């Protein structure tokens, strides 16, 4: 049986792998896909945090970042909460083809670069908390 730490480490390793994919996709000009993976990175860190702060080792089956943190003692500043809400959009757009055309117009290089930069700030902050 896996320990709590092993469950947490699983999610953090997955998040680290996905973070490398964000860069690869961005460099390949796959901007929407890079933001989909940016969301996955934060989602997986949030799931590690959920495990850390709850009895169970299986986090809720949700992609909603705010919901994942709502059952932890982590308090988000308003700007972080707003950013996470914004990032939540990309888990939907990455999964459902009917959103793709609309989002491809928004996800240009400049917009995506800014979003990735903000994601990285959030990622580093969450990683400090989970350790």
pLDDT digits (tens, 9 = 90+) for 7-22: 999 999 999 999 999 9
Task: Catalogue all structural domains in the chain, each as residue range(s) with its CATH number.
Answer: 4-130 (1.20.120.330)
pTM for this structure?
Answer: 0.93
Q: pLDDT tens for residues 43-60? A: 999 999 999 999 999 999
Other beta carbons within 10 Å of 117? 9
* Calpha distance 80→96 (Å, rounded): 25
What are 98-101's contacts with CB under 8 Å, separation 24+? 100/32
Other beta carbons within 10 Å of 73? 9
* Calpha distance 35→112 (Å, rounded): 7
């Amino acid at each position: 049986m896996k320990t709590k730490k092993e469950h947490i480490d699983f999610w953090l390793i997955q998040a680290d792998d996905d973070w490398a994919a964000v860069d690869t996709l961005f460099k390949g000009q796959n901007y929407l896909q890079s933001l989909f993976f940016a969301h996955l990175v934060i989602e997986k860190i949030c799931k590690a945090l959920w495990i850390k702060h709850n009895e169970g080792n299986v986090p809720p089956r949700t992609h909603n970042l705010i919901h994942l943190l709502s059952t932890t003692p982590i308090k988000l500043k308003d700007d972080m909460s707003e950013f996470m809400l914004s990032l939540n959009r990309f888990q939907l757009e990455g999964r459902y083809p009917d959103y793709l055309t609309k989002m491809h117009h928004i996800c240009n290089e400049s917009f995506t670069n800014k979003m990735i930069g903000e994601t990285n700030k959030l990622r580093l902050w969450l990683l400090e908390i989970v350790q």
